[in-house]
C-alpha cells in the first residue's frame, strides 16, 4: 500500500457501525440455537477446569478448538466476509488457532491446570468468566439490541478473551504460541471498534495487555 | 492511435468547455429542481453527465442484509428519479458492487446507470478477470468506466483497460486516488496516458488539486470525478455547528451539503462529484445541488473565505 503512513484506521474501515451491528443480529438469527450450545460449552469448560478429572485439559482444549473452528467458518467465512474481504484471512487465523489448541491441548496434552489455581490462574479464571458472562452484556448496556449480542463460543471477541483467560490458568510454562492469535484478534477487534468510535473500543486491547503482563509475571516466577 | 484521439478530444474540449452545458432531466419534485439539472460533457466524448453522482464507499457495503439492501435500492431510486446517472464502486468496497447490482435489478435501471467501477488487484494479469467479476456483480452489459483504484499496478492495468476499451468491452478508462495521495504519480499518468477520467478528492477545505491536477485535467481533456466531497460526513458535521451564510441563498443553497457540492462542481475542470449516503433524504438534498445557479469565480472565492473564517 503506497503512502501507508497516511492512512488512518477509519480509512481502512469498510462498513458502517450500523452494518457491523446488524451483522451480529443476522448471524445470531442464522445460527440459533447454536448460542445455547456455546453457552453450555462455556459452562462445561468452567466446571471441568475446577475439577480433578483426568481428561480435563484435553476436554477444555478440545472445546475451545471447536469454538475457534466454528467462528472461522460460521462467522468469518459465512457472514463477516460479506462486508470485509479481510475476513477470509481472519478465518484462516481462527482455524490455525483451533489447530494449535487441538494439537497442544488435545493431542499432545501440553496444557496443565493447577489445583487449586495459583493467584494468576485465578485471575485467568476471572477473565474467562468475564468473557462468558459480563462481556456479552456490554453491548446491551450501551443501548444495542439484545439480538446483536456477542456470545462466547460463537462470536470472536469474547472467545478470544476467554481463551486468553484459560491459557493463564495453565501451570506449565506460558503457552505464548497459543496466545499470539487471540492477542492479535484483541488488537484487530479493538481497532475495528475504535474506527467505529465505539465506547468499548479499548476493552479488548486492555484485557490483552493485562493477560500479557500476568503471563510475563508468571513466566518469571 | 491513442495519441491521435487524445489530441482530437483536446480540440473538442476547446469548444465544449467554453460553454456551460445543461440539460433538463426530471423537474417534477422540489422547488430547486424546477430549474434545469446541470450536466457537463465527458471531455473525451462530449457525452453529458449530471454533475452529481453517487458513491458507494461504506454506505452500500451492507452484505446480505435484506432490509439494508432495500434501503440502498431506495437511495438508488431517489437518485435516478432526480436525474442521477453515475454510480461509482470498487472491488475494494466489500459487498457494494453486489448491492448496486441488486438495486439495478430491482429498479430495472441497468441501462439507465452510468456504471463506474475500478480494478483493484496487484497482479496485472488478473485485472481482466476482476473486471468481469465486477461486471457480473453489477449485472450490466459492460462498464461505462473502469478506473485503476488508487493507481495500484497502473502500469499493468492501463494497457489491459485500453485494450478492453478498443474492443468495446468498456467505454472509458481512468485512474483514482483519494485524500491527496500520490498526486505526483497521478500527474504523471495524466500527462502520459490517454485516460478519460481521473478521480480525486476535492472539497472546499481540501483544495490542493486546484494547483496542478485540475488545470492539467483541463489541458489534457480529462474528466474529473470528485470523491469524498464531505470527508465521509466529517465536513458536514463540522459545518453544521455554524449557520449557513446568507449569501448561500444567492446560489440556491438551503443546507451545507449543497453549499459544499456546488463549490465542487462549479470548478470548470470538475465533471461530477460522487457523494455517498444511506439516506433517501440526503440523496435528494445532494441532487438539489445539481440545480439552480452555480457559483461563479467571485462567489467561489467568497465561499472559501467564509469557510476559512469559521
Return the C-alpha cell found at B56: 458507494
Q: Cell 493463564 maps to which residue?
A: A168
CA dihedral sign of residues A181, A153, A43, A161: positive
Q: Which of A14, A82, A85 is nearest residue B58 as measured by Cβ atoms?
A: A14
Looking at the complex, does the CB of residue B58 fall below 8 Å from at least one CB of chain A?
A: yes
pLDDT tens digit sequence for A70-89: 999 999 999 999 999 999 99
Asked if B61's CB is within 8 angstroms of A22's CB, the reply is no
Looking at the complex, does the CB of residue A135 fall below 8 Å from at least one CB of chain B?
A: no
Question: Out of B3-12, B257-266, B275-284, which region has the weakest mean confidence (pLDDT)?
Answer: B3-12
**Residue in A with minimal Cα distance to B57:** A14
* Percent of chain B surpassing pLDDT 90: 83
What would the 3-class secondary structure string for chain A be? CCCHHHCCHHHHCCCCHHHHHHHHHHHHHHHCCHHHHHHHHHHHHHHHHHCCCCCHHHHHHHHHHHHHHHHHHHHHHCCHHHCCCCHHHHHHHHHHHHHHHHHHHHHCCCCCECCCCCHHHHHHHHHHHHHHHHHHHHHHHCCCCHHHCCCCCCCHHHHHHHHHHHHHHECCCCCHHHHHHHHHHHHHHHHHHHHCCCCCCCHHHHHHHHHHHHHHHHHHC
Look at residue B172 and tell me whether its pLDDT is greater than 90: yes
Asked if B232's CB is within 8 angstroms of A14's CB, the reply is no
- As for the ipTM of the complex, it is 0.88
Average pLDDT value over all residues in chain B: 89
The residue ranges of DSSP E strands in B60-152, in sequence order, are: 86-88, 114-119, 143-148
Looking at the complex, does the CB of residue B151 fall below 8 Å from at least one CB of chain A?
A: yes
DSSP state of A103: I
Return the C-alpha cell found at A71: 467462528
Look at residue B154 and tell me whether its pLDDT is greater than 80: yes
Looking at the complex, does the CB of residue B65 fall below 8 Å from at least one CB of chain A?
A: yes
pLDDT tens digit sequence for A182-210: 999 999 999 999 999 999 999 999 999 99
Q: Which of A3, A11, A19 is nearest residue B68 as measured by Cβ atoms?
A: A19
Asked if A83's CB is within 8 angstroms of B63's CB, the reply is yes
**Residue in B with minimal Cα distance to A16:** B58
CA gap B27, B24 in Å, rounded: 7
Looking at the complex, does the CB of residue A82 fall below 8 Å from at least one CB of chain B?
A: yes
pLDDT tens digit sequence for A1-60: 556 666 777 777 899 999 999 999 999 999 999 999 999 999 999 998 888 777 888 999
Question: Out of A110-114, A175-179, B187-191, B216-220, which region has the weakest mean confidence (pLDDT)?
Answer: A110-114
Looking at the complex, does the CB of residue A85 fall below 8 Å from at least one CB of chain B?
A: yes
pLDDT tens digit sequence for B73-100: 999 999 999 999 999 999 999 999 999 9
pTM here?
A: 0.88
Report residue B20's pLDDT band, with 50, 70 and 90 as the boundaries: very low
| pLDDT at residue A1, rounded to an integer | 53
CA gap B138, B101 in Å, rounded: 4
**Residue in B with minimal Cα distance to A15:** B58
Look at residue B265 and tell me whether its pLDDT is greater than 80: yes
| Three-state secondary structure call for residue B286 | helix
Angle formed at CA B85 by CA B53 and CA B200, multiple of 5 degrees: 30
Question: Out of A44-53, B7-16, B52-61, B252-261, which region has the weakest mean confidence (pLDDT)?
Answer: B7-16
CB A129 within 8 A of CB A161: no
pLDDT tens digit sequence for A137-171: 999 999 999 999 999 999 999 999 999 999 998 87
Residue B273: beta bridge partners?
B52, B226
Long-range Cβ contacts of A4-7 (<8 Å, 24+ apart):
A6/B179, A6/B180, A6/B181
Mean pLDDT highest for which of A102-116, B23-37, B288-302? B288-302
CA gap B153, B223 in Å, rounded: 21
Amino acid at each position: 500500500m503506497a503512502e501507508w503512513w497516511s492512512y488512518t484506521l477509519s480509512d481502512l474501515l469498510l462498513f458502517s457501525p450500523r452494518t457491523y451491528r446488524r451483522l451480529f443480529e443476522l448471524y445470531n438469527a442464522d445460527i440459533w440455537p447454536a448460542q445455547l450450545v456455546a453457552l453450555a460449552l462455556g459452562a462445561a469448560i468452567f466446571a471441568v477446569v475446577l475439577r480433578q478429572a483426568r481428561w480435563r485439559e484435553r476436554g477444555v482444549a478440545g472445546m475451545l478448538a471447536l469454538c475457534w473452528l466454528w467462528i472461522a467458518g460460521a462467522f468469518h467465512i459465512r457472514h463477516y466476509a460479506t462486508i470485509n474481504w479481510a475476513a477470509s484471512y481472519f478465518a484462516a487465523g481462527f482455524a490455525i488457532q483451533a489447530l494449535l489448541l487441538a494439537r497442544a491441548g488435545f493431542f499432545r496434552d501440553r496444557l496443565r491446570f493447577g489445583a487449586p489455581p495459583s493467584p494468576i490462574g485465578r485471575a485467568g479464571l476471572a477473565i474467562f468468566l468475564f468473557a462468558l458472562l459480563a462481556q456479552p452484556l456490554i453491548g446491551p448496556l450501551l443501548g444495542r439490541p439484545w439480538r446483536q449480542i456477542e456470545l462466547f463460543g460463537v462470536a470472536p471477541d469474547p472467545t478470544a478473551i476467554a481463551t486468553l483467560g484459560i491459557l493463564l490458568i495453565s501451570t506449565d510454562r506460558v503457552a505464548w504460541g497459543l496466545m499470539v492469535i487471540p492477542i492479535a484478534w484483541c488488537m484487530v477487534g479493538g481497532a475495528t471498534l475504535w474506527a467505529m468510535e465505539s465506547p468499548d473500543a479499548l476493552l479488548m486491547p486492555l484485557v490483552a495487555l493485562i493477560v500479557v503482563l500476568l503471563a510475563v509475571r508468571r513466566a518469571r516466577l | 492511435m491513442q495519441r491521435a484521439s487524445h489530441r482530437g478530444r483536446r480540440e473538442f474540449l476547446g469548444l465544449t468547455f467554453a460553454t456551460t452545458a445543461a440539460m433538463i432531466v426530471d423537474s417534477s419534485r422540489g422547488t430547486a429542481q424546477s430549474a434545469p439539472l446541470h450536466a457537463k460533457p465527458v471531455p473525451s466524448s462530449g457525452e453529458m453527465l449530471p454533475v452529481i453522482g453517487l458513491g458507494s464507499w461504506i454506505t452500500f457495503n451492507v452484505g446480505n442484509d435484506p432490509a439494508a439492501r432495500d434501503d440502498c435500492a431506495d437511495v438508488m431510486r431517489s437518485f435516478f428519479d432526480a436525474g442521477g446517472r453515475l454510480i461509482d464502486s470498487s472491488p475494494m468496497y466489500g459487498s457494494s458492487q453486489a448491492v448496486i447490482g441488486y438495486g439495478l435489478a430491482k429498479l430495472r435501471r441497468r441501462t439507465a446507470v452510468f456504471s463506474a467501477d475500478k480494478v483493484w488487484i496487484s497482479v496485472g494479469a488478473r485485472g481482466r478477470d476482476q473486471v468481469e467479476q465486477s461486471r457480473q456483480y453489477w449485472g450490466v452489459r459492460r462498464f461505462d468506466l473502469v478506473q485503476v483504484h488508487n493507481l495500484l499496478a497502473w502500469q499493468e492495468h492501463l494497457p489491459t483497460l485500453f485494450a478492453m476499451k478498443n474492443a468495446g468491452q468498456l467505454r472509458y478508462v481512468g485512474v483514482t486516488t483519494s485524500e491527496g495521495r500520490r498526486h505526483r504519480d497521478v500527474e504523471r499518468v495524466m500527462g502520459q496516458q490517454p485516460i478519460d477520467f481521473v478521480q480525486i478528492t476535492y472539497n472546499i477545505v481540501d483544495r490542493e488539486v486546484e494547483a496542478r491536477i485540475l488545470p492539467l485535467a483541463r489541458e489534457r481533456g480529462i474528466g474529473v470525478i470528485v470523491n469524498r466531497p464531505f470527508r465521509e460526513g466529517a465536513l458536514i458535521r463540522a459545518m453544521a455547528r455554524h449557520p449557513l451564510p446568507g449569501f448561500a441563498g444567492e446560489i440556491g443553497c438551503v443546507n451545507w451539503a449543497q453549499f459544499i457540492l456546488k463549490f465542487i462542481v462549479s470548478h470548470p475542470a470538475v465533471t461530477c462529484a460522487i457523494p455517498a449516503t444511506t439516506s433517501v433524504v440526503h440523496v435528494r438534498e445532494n441532487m438539489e445541488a445539481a440545480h439552480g445557479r452555480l457559483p461563479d469565480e467571485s462567489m467561489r472565492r467568497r465561499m472559501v473565505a467564509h469557510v476559512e473564517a469559521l
